[in-house]
Every structure is written in structure tokens, then in C-alpha cells.
Amino acid sequence: MQDASAQMAILQFMLSRLPTTAVPTSIHCDHLIEAYQSAESDVAQALVTNREIFDFLQSAAEKYGVEFWKPGSGIIHQIVLENYAAPGTLMLGTDSHTPNAGGLGMLAIGVGGADAVDAMANIPWELKAPKVLGVRLTGRLNGWASPKDIILNLAGKLTVRGGTGHIIEYFGPGTDTLSCTGMGTICNMGAEVGATTSVFPYNSGMARYLAATRRAHIAAAADQAAGFLRPDEPVIAAPEKHYDQVIELDLDRLEPHINGPFTPDFSRPLSTMKTLIKEQGWPEDVSVGLIGSCTNSSYEDMTRAASIARQAAAKGIHAKSQFLVTPGSEQVRATIARDGLTGDLETIGATVLANACGPCIGQWKRTDGDHATRGEERPDLGPNAIVSSFNRNFRARNDGNAQTMNFLASPEIVTAMALSGRLSFNPVTDTLLDADGKPFKLDPPCGQELPDATAGFDEGRTVYRPIVQDPTEANLAANDVPIKVDPKSQRLQILEPFPAWNGGELEDLRILVKVAGKCTTDHISAAGQWLKYKGHLENIAHNTLIGALNADTGKVNSALNTVTGELGTIPEVGMAYRAAGIPWLVIADHNYGEGSAREHAAMQPRYLGCQLILTKSFARIHETNLKKQGVLPLTFRDEQDYDRLTGDGTMTVSTQGVADLRPGCPVYLQVTQTRPDGSQERFQIETKHTMSEDQIEWFKHGSALNLIASLTN
């Protein structure tokens, strides 16, 4: 669990009253460090700013037998790859990029905190049986093409919802040409196409990585079980007979890609950018180049970027854009420092940030001139472009500026663009000017999969090694640790159980907002400056749906209070409805809740009185999170019915079929629309749900947590 989601997961687990977690569990402090000046100063500031949260998480770890990784130790997914991942095993993580561990042959699935509580409380974890999408890789990457380009290309083919309900399984001879961390990059961004998870077959690259990270014994065991960790021969021979869908990718022909802005599936070859920039009116200047994040912060990533930096330094030039580097872990940081790679990057002007999520999750205090000011406050500045090796580029995600355009690429392409300062720069064909004004062309990057075997990885400063607990009940009882939450705290709040279902239909629901277009978990529960309230449900509820576009008003964060007849922000109206005891629902478009696994995007609406979300389709994790919190997720039987509904205050909605809710049975919505003259029109909309018998029990109890508490108490 990462620190932003672990707060709510621990607060929920506390209600189970169990003495220890039932499965090995770890907490990683990577989300709450704001990138500003330097690694040392930023971590020091985070320890002051977030002391209450870190103390809470560490005391909970001590109480329940959980391993605790301190702030500065690294990003959860890189640490998992280095320490926990193993071929053929299953892991749940409270972060949507948990599938990163698929690069080591692990079935790693991103979930909400309530799902993690299930596992921690020894409650069976449930997943709707996924389909399997096979991606056959042939050939070998060459030139400027990288593992990142494989998933950037695939995102364009599948779109942000094309992988929903699927596990993506990579196979074919091309898989044996990739490094373990390269495969991790590809699996990591499977989240961007909605996949349940992604996985590679066990191969020699994984064995080498395990040996390099002091786990040769796991590689030896995997070698013995290799037949179970790879596709069977009949599957290889006739994949179309075994996979639900097959996509072919020839790595020999793959060229560098760049995706964005505002959505990770807007994909195109880098060679087309010059034309697109002119057609779309995008900024030509690159304000900032950023490499790192959980997707691309491995040793190999850094060696490839450093190989570009060395060429530039040899020609006497520096980055024209601000250039920021985020190592994935203390182990990566220490190793690249020892091997001179940090110096290579700093020579061209890079600033090395803390081993943390930083700008990727919106923890970024920009310092690059005018754009350090939020775009909402200075609309006269217009859009600005950044390029990053991150995984997501939703509007306003990285810096809170809705006008910042984030383009996703490999670390080496980002480095080259930072040197040129131009979004149109293509290192495959274009030249730079050296210190004497003479043109030169960058050679393709070269990198090392792993550090030299004689030196190996440097584990770095011992202060960042995990605090390991003895999870036996006897030991924990002997060393009982109190977990204190100040009732006056603005950062932490003990949870009150959500009310149980009353057994009847849901009646007279107001439509809080009809959402138009993309609505990610960033839109529903923004991160960035709001991360400080992750442990305080009441406070963080004030950001509910602030990024959503109201289809009726055409404005972001706008809703009509049907009691007062006045427009307000969505949280303001939601709070007013909660105070008045008025239940409500949300109408939304396709893939509602895509993006991060944050369960706050389900808990906040529930806290404010939401009883139902009606959409054209849901993202998998978010739909489960809604079910966990006692919110009924429904989809239109006929998507055109979306156009019949409005949030203009004239409609109320009641259900028919909830009182006898059963798997596979429809739920009808009885809609009453009141006209200005007082007359009314009534019509019915048919909807579907995916609730299982167990999930219906969650709904009846008011939440999955309420059910767990009733069982454990």
C-alpha cells in the first residue's frame, strides 16, 4: 500500500478489530513528498509537513505486523520489483500501477483500499473472471525505440477502455529480447488501457534481475517451474484459438511514439509531431522535461538517458528546458550515483528529485517562471507543454494547471527533447547545435540492463531499509502499540460506518450532476494539494467531482442546488444535500472512474449521500470501489437514454428492482420530470448491473467493511 491510500485502508482495517494482517503487507511512503528544490530538502520538508501521517502509518505498521518503508525509500512499484515480486505469485496493491510487477511474471492487480482490507482480514477476494488478450511480440527493438514505445503504441490501438475486463498476456519471441524492468514498464501502463493486469512469461531476463537483486534462490525455483510460468505449446502454435483477442507487434518496425496531451491513448509516431503541432496549435517550446516515475525509473532507464546526456556534454551543450529526474528507489539512486550516471545528468542541467512519485502524482511545486503559477489563476499565459516518461497525462494532474499539456514518451526521448527545448524535435532525423554552433546528430541511446555483476546494486543508505515487524499475534500482543488519532486533526479522522440499506427501493434521488465526457478518478477526487486530506474523509469530500464537466451548464465543477435554485460548486451542493438528508445520483459517460485506484472517489460521494451512479460504462477498479462502499453502480441498457436525462433540477429518480436485487436482473429507473407549469412527465429507463451475490451483501450492509466488521466481531 502506498501512503496516500494506506491511510484509509488502515482506518478501515482498524474497524475489523483484528490483531494482525492475515497476509504479508507493506506500506510505502512515496506519494506525500512534494517535488520542489532537491531530494534532501524535499524529503526533510515532507517529514515536517506530514509527520502526523507518517507517525500514524508507522504505528499502525508496528501494531499489525506490517513492513514500513520510510519517506525517501522509493516508489512502491520499483521497491516491489526489487524486493517482493516473484514469478507465478499473486499480489494486490492499492495503486492502479501495481501490474508493474507483471514484468517479473507476477499476477499483480491494482485494487482499492477496501479490497486490500479483505485480504488483510482473511476475507476471500473476488474478481469477475477476466478475458485474456494476447499480445504477440516478434523482432527486436532497435535505434531509438524502447519498451515504453510498445505500450504507447498499444494504448493507441486499444484506447483507454479497450483492455477493460481483460488480462493482457504478452508472448512470442520478442518477449525474450526485453529486460525485466522494460517488461515492467509495459505492464505498468496496461492500467492506461483499463486492463485488470498484464503479465509476461518467465524468461532469462527475469532470472538475471532476480539474481542481481539478491534473489537467485527464487530464480532457481522459477527455473524448475518454468513450464507453468509460460504459455503452453498449443497456445504458441495457435494463439487465436486460446486468447479472446490477439494483437501482433513487430518490434523490428516499431518507431518512437509520443502520446498526449490530456489522455494516454492519443498516440502517434514521433515522426508525425511536426505536422500535428501545426495542425493542433500546440506549443512548440518544451517548458519542462521529466524522467522517472514508477513507469520509467529503473537502472536501465537511467543508463539510456545518461547516454544521451554524455553526448550533449561532449558537445558543450545543456538542456534548454528545465530537466527533472526522479529515481525509482534508494537502490537505483545510490547505484546511479556510484556509477557516475547522476553526474552525467546533472552536467546537462538536471535536478535529481527525491525517490518518490513527485510530479507524476501532482506533488510538484513548479519553479519554471510564469508556469509556476496555476493556469486557472493566469489564463492569459495560455497552454504550455511538458514532456515526461510518466504514465498518465490527464488535464491538471501534474501541476494543477488545466492548460499544461503533458506528452508521454520514453526517458531517452524526453532527454533529447529537453536538450532541444522543442516539442517537434525528433532525434532520429533532427540535429542540435553544439557549443560552436555546428550541427550534430545524437546517436541512439545505449544502456545497461543491470549494473556490472562485480559491483551489483548499491542498496544505499540503511536508514531507508524497511522496518520489519514480527507479525505473530503473540509478539504483537507483547509489544502492543497504540494508534492515536487526534479528534481535532485535520489530516486524520476515525471512520464512522456508512448506514445500511433500508431494504426498499431508492426513492426521490436528485441528479447532482450529469457529467459530460471523460471523468477519471482525478476528476472525482483530485490528488496534488488534496493528498494531505487522504486520511480525513470529511475534509477531502470538499474536492468531490471538482474536475467534472457539467453537461447541462457546460462548466467544470458546477451544479444546481434544487432546494435553493442556485448554482454552486459540486461539493457545495453535495454538502447541502447531505445536511438536508437528500439522496442523489450522478449520470456519466463512458469509462467513468478510469485512472488511479483511489477509493476516495467512491467514499467521498457515498459520504455526501450518493446512492447510485449511472453511466454508459465503468472502469473496473472504480466500479468495484463503488460496490465496496455501498453505492449502486448501474449502466444504461440503451446508451441513448443518457440524452434523456438532465441535471437541471427538473428530474427526480426512483428505482424499481433494488428491493429484490439479484445478479443479472435489470434495475429500472422511474424518472419524474416537473415542467415549469407544474405538470409532470414520467418515463422509465432500463439499466444493468454486475453485482454478484456477495457484492449484493455489501450493498445490504451499507458497505463491504460493515459486512467484514459483522463477521470479525
Pairing state of beta strands 322-325 and 166-171? Answer: unpaired
Name the band, by pLDDT with cuts 50, 70 and 90, for residue 713. low
Joined together, the cell numbers standing for residue 579 give: 445536511
The pLDDT value recorded for residue 694 is 94
Nearest to 332 by CA among 148, 217, 464, 201: 464
The pLDDT value recorded for residue 657 is 97
The pLDDT value recorded for residue 283 is 96
The pLDDT value recorded for residue 709 is 84
Lowest mean pLDDT among 327-336, 347-356, 703-712: 703-712
Joined together, the cell numbers standing for residue 514 give: 450529469
**What are the residues whose beta carbons fall under 8 Å from the beta carbon of 676, sequence distance 6 or more?**
none
Joined together, the cell numbers standing for residue 640 give: 441513448
Nearest to 178 by CA among 76, 249, 93: 249
The residues pairing with 614 across neighbouring beta strands, listed in sequence order, are 587, 634
Q: Evaluate if residue 378 carries a pLDDT over 70.
A: no
Using CB atoms within 10 A of its CB, is residue 448 exposed (0-12), middle (13-18) or buried (19+)? middle
Q: Evaluate if residue 67 carries a pLDDT over 80.
A: yes
Measured on CA atoms in the order 356, 196, 410, 332, is the torsion positive or negative?
positive
Q: How far apart are CA 284 and CA 282, in angstroms?
A: 6
- Active-site residue flag, 596: yes
What rounded mean pLDDT belongs to the chain? Answer: 95
- Active-site residue flag, 318: no
Q: How far apart are CA 354 and CA 438, in angstroms?
A: 36
Q: Evaluate if residue 376 carries a pLDDT over 80.
A: no
For range 472-493, the mean pLDDT: 80
Catalytic residue among 16, 28, 30, 424: 30
pTM of the model: 0.92
- Active-site residue flag, 95: yes
Q: How far apart are CA 43 and CA 356, in angstroms?
A: 9
Catalytic residue among 97, 392, 510, 620: 392
Q: Evaluate if residue 55 carries a pLDDT over 70.
A: yes
Residue % of the chain over a pLDDT of 70 = 97
Tens digit of each residue's pLDDT (9 = 90 or more) over 279-322: 999 999 999 999 999 999 999 999 999 999 999 999 999 999 99
**CATH fold of 127-253, please?**
Aconitase; Domain 2 (3.40.1060)
Tens digit of each residue's pLDDT (9 = 90 or more) over 241-260: 999 999 999 999 999 999 99
Q: Evaluate if residue 540 carries a pLDDT over 60.
A: yes
**What are the residues whose beta carbons fall under 8 Å from the beta carbon of 538, sequence distance 6 or more?**
493, 607
The residues spanned by each domain of the chain are: 127-253, 257-440, 509-712
11-33 exposure pattern, b = at least 16 Cβ within 10 A, e = fewer = bbbbbbebebbeeebbbbbbbbb
Lowest mean pLDDT among 101-105, 209-213, 429-433, 526-530: 526-530
Name the band, by pLDDT with cuts 50, 70 and 90, for residue 471. low
The pLDDT value recorded for residue 220 is 98
Tens digit of each residue's pLDDT (9 = 90 or more) over 73-89: 999 999 999 999 999 99
Lowest mean pLDDT among 74-83, 108-117, 661-670: 108-117
Q: What DSSP string describes 112-152?
A: -HHHHHHHHTTPPP--PPPEEEEEEEES---TT--HHHHHH
How many beta carbons lie within 10 A of that of residue 3, not counting itself? 29
Joined together, the cell numbers standing for residue 616 give: 454508459
For range 603-630, the mean pLDDT: 97
- The CATH architecture assigned to 509-712 reads Alpha-Beta Barrel (3.20)
- Active-site residue flag, 598: yes
**What are the residues whose beta carbons fall under 8 Å from the beta carbon of 417, sequence distance 6 or more?**
286, 289, 321, 387, 409, 423, 425
Tens digit of each residue's pLDDT (9 = 90 or more) over 126-179: 898 999 999 999 999 999 999 999 999 999 999 999 999 999 999 999 999 999
**Beta-carbon-side half-sphere exposure of residue 4 (alpha carbons within 13 Å):** 32
- The CATH architecture assigned to 257-440 reads 2-Layer Sandwich (3.30)
Catalytic residue among 598, 606, 689, 701: 598
Catalytic residue among 5, 558, 596, 617: 596
Lowest mean pLDDT among 19-28, 469-478, 508-517, 669-678: 469-478
The pLDDT value recorded for residue 316 is 98
Q: What DSSP string describes 505-563?
A: ---SEEEEEEB-S--BHHHHB--GGGGGGTB-HHHHGGGBTTTPBBTTT--BT-EEETT
The pLDDT value recorded for residue 447 is 94
Tens digit of each residue's pLDDT (9 = 90 or more) over 9-38: 999 999 888 889 999 999 999 999 999 999
Q: What DSSP string describes 147-189?
A: HHHHHHHHHHHH-TTTTBTEEEEEESGGGGGS-HHHHHHHHHG
For range 414-433, the mean pLDDT: 98
For range 166-195, the mean pLDDT: 98
For range 676-684, the mean pLDDT: 94
The pLDDT value recorded for residue 468 is 80
The pLDDT value recorded for residue 477 is 62
Catalytic residue among 3, 42, 95, 641: 95
Q: Evaluate if residue 375 carries a pLDDT over 80.
A: no
